[in-house]
Chains A and B, each alone.
Chain A
Amino acid sequence: MTATEAPPAPPTPPTPTVTEAAVRKVPRRKRLIPYWLLLPGILWLLVFFALPMVYQASTSVQTGSLEEGFEVTWHFATYWDAIQEYYPQFVRSLLYAGTATVLCLLLGYPLAYLIAFKAGRWRNLLLVLVIAPFFTSFLIRTLAWKTILADDGTVVGALDALRVLDVTSWLGWTADDRVLATPMAVVCGLTYNFLPFMILPLYTSLERIDGRLHEAAGDLYARPATTFRKVTVPLSMPGIVSGTLLTFIPASGDYVNAELLGSTDTKMVGSVIQSQFLRVLDYPTAAALSFILMAVVLVVVTVYIRRSGTEDLV
């Protein structure tokens, strides 16, 4: 840039004809290719996401009965009634899902760490083992926990003998010397079923960490525990965040675990929605509950992402 450069040219009127011509030069067919490629995805979203949402939204503000038919009456009171009647289930859902997520993190992090840094040639085998449960149906796996936690089973026997059940019943997690049909059983089921969704993103983000960063931290006087706290954990934040979201969101809407492993006292909001839709046939309440759950999860997740400051991470 020198001072001898030509003075800026006087502003010329825009020449739209030129650009239009340039656009026209690209064959129409070619210009449309990206949209054609997007079409299947957009259609899929429209049919399976947008339409059902609109349909549910309209259902939630309808009144009527199955015999006389439902009509849109903009009856927003359904929402308020649903919250009033079912808020214990909402609180329980968030509590169970939150506990299961924390347990998944505590169990999953060491495992993902081990696979990423210490497994060596066993790494792929271990990863296959992590997703191996998926080869069996979700329902069957959950039913298997009924056997595992059976009242006369070894697990309950061992917990009883170790006096663990005394502690857990004092905490209100179990009751009457049994585990089945208690909050603990539901949380165990949730934790088990969603553990792979925690481990895989954790593994991916841990595996990406350059091993030399650990060496560098050690070289700069960090003890192994400090290295873990100051380097490993911050760098695996993307994995922690996506793992907790992938666990928490489906777990808070889950009803299979609560239905199969719990009792009427451990009903989660998912079970309520399911029974409103399929047994009580009160469609407006069921739809309203679904929207409330969605809103609550959205708020929780937004706050969580803000707090964990993931947008800062590379």
Chain B
Amino acid sequence: MTETSPTDRGGDDVRLTGISKSYGSFHAVKPLDLTVPEGSFFALLGASGCGKTTTLRMIAGLEDPTTGSVFLGEKDVTGLPPHKRPVNTVFQSYALFPHLDIYENVAFGLRRRGIKSVKKQVGDMLDLVQLGDFAKRKPHQLSGGQQQRVAVARALINHPKVLLLDEPLGALDLKLRRQMQLELKRIQTEVGITFVHVTHDQEEAMTMADTVAVMNAGRVEQLGAPAELYENPQTTFVANFLGTSNLIEADVAEKNGDEVVVTSAGVKLRLPADRCTSQVADGGRLLVGVRPEKISLAHADDAGSVPAGRNRISGRIVDSSFIGVSTQYVINSPVCGELEVYAQNIERDGRLVPGAEVVLHWNPAHTFGLDAAQDIDAGVKTVDEEGA
């Protein structure tokens, strides 16, 4: 990511080097290096106020970075105003021109570059976003989803080197949002342009993007493919922000070869050494994490049937909610206040009801270890944010 000189990079990658933005004493974006490979679908994911939109606006030229540079391919565009950058943006509220019809909205960028015969291009672009019949309508006569597609068409028609999407689906209802996610993904595959997508919705980022950068408090916490981020979170923020994680505070008991053994409230847990992000030392502390869907549940009466070699914790079910494909259990255990377990509804054990004593067990390979010096609740979504 860092230490790349402009010459050994080909194509039209977007490179941010040491870029930062401060408003007085508030650091919206802390010095940041980031490379978005040409043709990729890249997501900047984070809660509101984490600096993701500011980063995007610096690429677009709508915000001047306090320090650092923006490169598009070989070219340093840091000092260029927005209208001189080969970059287009899909704005959060679409920002369609209300006084122009759909046709003229889409043709706007072409006309500004002095292209006279725009008819075919506009027609093709409207067909691509399936709005061919709406050319003569005004933006306010269209639904939210249609306006969104006009905004995409208006940006894409210019064949930008990079398309920036600033929470483009935020204003749509859930069903439409799912549909548009697939639509955008299809368009991106079809046109092959680099997409940089800003979102606070982790599911959206994981569904659409090839690479996700999780941002928190003006910094990139972790960057990688969605599966990589989900399976191997490097920080508690990523572990909690992407999906749900059960994090258990534990002491390192011993390290033998590839395996680390930790104890928490007298329970021994094992995990692979290479899945620990921090240096593991005897007597040190570790946050041991496991995803809820990796855990299996067995009623305490069947404890003997749990295969050997698995991590096991006993506890009591305090809550269960049935959500169709799976059931979500909240389990109280001496090891950790509350553990979440998602069990697929294949064969439901009628005894697994609140109050039942259970044994939780999982494959040690599915356990990851994080630096214990972090806030264990970082990135946990509150009810308010979830509803937003």
> Interface of A with B (CB < 8 Å)?
210, 212-213, 215-223, 226, 230-231, 234-235, 237, 312-314
Return chain A residues, CB-CB under 8 Å to B91.
212, 215-216
**How many Å from the CB of A229 to the closest CB on chain B?**
11
**How many Å from the CB of A277 to the closest CB on chain B?**
45
B99 touches A234 (CB 8 A): yes
Q: Which residue of B lies closest to A221 (CB)?
A: B112
A222 touches B112 (CB 8 A): yes
**How many Å from the CB of B289 to the closest CB on chain A?**
40
Return chain B residues, CB-CB under 8 Å to A312.
99
B108 touches A217 (CB 8 A): yes
Further contacts, 17 of them, CB under 8 A, given A212-B91, A216-B91: A212-B95, A213-B95, A215-B62, A215-B95, A216-B95, A218-B82, A219-B89, A220-B108, A222-B108, A223-B83, A226-B112, A231-B99, A235-B98, A312-B99, A313-B99, A314-B98, A314-B140
**How many Å from the CB of B183 to the closest CB on chain A?**
21
**Does any Cβ of A come within 8 Å of B149's Cβ?**
no
Return chain B residues, CB-CB under 8 Å to A213.
95, 97-98
> Interface of B with A (CB < 8 Å)?
60-62, 81-84, 87-89, 91, 93, 95-99, 108-109, 112-113, 138, 140, 154-155, 158
Contact of A218 among B62, B113, B155 (CB under 8 A): B62
B98 touches A215 (CB 8 A): no
A220 touches B112 (CB 8 A): yes
Expressed in whole angstroms, the Cα–Cα distance for A213 and B92 within the complex equals 12
Q: A212-B93, A215-B91 are in contact. Are A221 and B98 (CB under 8 A)?
A: no
**How many Å from the CB of A127 to the closest CB on chain B?**
25
- The main secondary structure of chain A at its interface with chain B is helix
Return chain B residues, CB-CB under 8 Å to A210.
93, 95
Return chain A residues, CB-CB under 8 Å to B95.
210, 212-213, 215-216
Expressed in whole angstroms, the Cα–Cα distance for A230 and B60 within the complex equals 21
Return chain A residues, CB-CB under 8 Å to B61.
218-219
Expressed in whole angstroms, the Cα–Cα distance for A210 and B97 within the complex equals 10
Q: Which residue of B lies closest to A234 (CB)?
A: B99
Q: Which residue of A lies closest to B138 (CB)?
A: A314
A220 touches B88 (CB 8 A): yes
Expressed in whole angstroms, the Cα–Cα distance for A187 and B84 within the complex equals 44
Return chain B residues, CB-CB under 8 Å to A314.
98-99, 138, 140
Expressed in whole angstroms, the Cα–Cα distance for A213 and B108 within the complex equals 12
Expressed in whole angstroms, the Cα–Cα distance for A115 and B62 within the complex equals 22
**How many Å from the CB of A312 to the closest CB on chain B?**
8
Expressed in whole angstroms, the Cα–Cα distance for A234 and B84 within the complex equals 23
Expressed in whole angstroms, the Cα–Cα distance for A216 and B113 within the complex equals 15
Return chain A residues, CB-CB under 8 Å to B155.
219-220
Instruction: Show 9 A/B contacts (Cβ-Cβ < 8 Å), sorted by A.
Output: A215-B89, A216-B95, A218-B81, A219-B87, A222-B112, A223-B83, A231-B97, A231-B99, A237-B99
Expressed in whole angstroms, the Cα–Cα distance for A230 and B107 within the complex equals 13
Q: Which residue of A lies closest to B164 (CB)?
A: A219
Expressed in whole angstroms, the Cα–Cα distance for A220 and B97 within the complex equals 12
Expressed in whole angstroms, the Cα–Cα distance for A210 and B140 within the complex equals 14
Return chain A residues, CB-CB under 8 Å to B93.
210, 212
Return chain B residues, CB-CB under 8 Å to A226.
112
A219 touches B140 (CB 8 A): no
Contact of B82 among A219, A237, A313 (CB under 8 A): A219
Residue from the set A210, A213, A219, A230 with the largest chain B CB neighbour count within 10 Å:
A219
Q: A212-B95, A314-B99 are in contact. Are A220 and B140 (CB under 8 A)?
A: no
Expressed in whole angstroms, the Cα–Cα distance for A313 and B99 within the complex equals 7
**How many Å from the CB of A6 to the closest CB on chain B?**
33
Q: A212-B91, A235-B98 are in contact. Are A221 and B62 (CB under 8 A)?
A: no
Contact of A222 among B62, B83, B154 (CB under 8 A): B83
B97 touches A216 (CB 8 A): yes
**How many Å from the CB of B352 to the closest CB on chain A?**
45
A235 touches B62 (CB 8 A): no
Return chain B residues, CB-CB under 8 Å to A231.
97, 99
Q: Which residue of A lies closest to B114 (CB)?
A: A221
Return chain A residues, CB-CB under 8 Å to B112.
220-223, 226
Expressed in whole angstroms, the Cα–Cα distance for A219 and B165 within the complex equals 12
Expressed in whole angstroms, the Cα–Cα distance for A213 and B139 within the complex equals 13
B99 touches A219 (CB 8 A): no
Q: Which residue of B lies closest to A231 (CB)?
A: B97
Expressed in whole angstroms, the Cα–Cα distance for A202 and B185 within the complex equals 43
Return chain B residues, CB-CB under 8 Å to A220.
83, 88, 108-109, 112, 154-155, 158
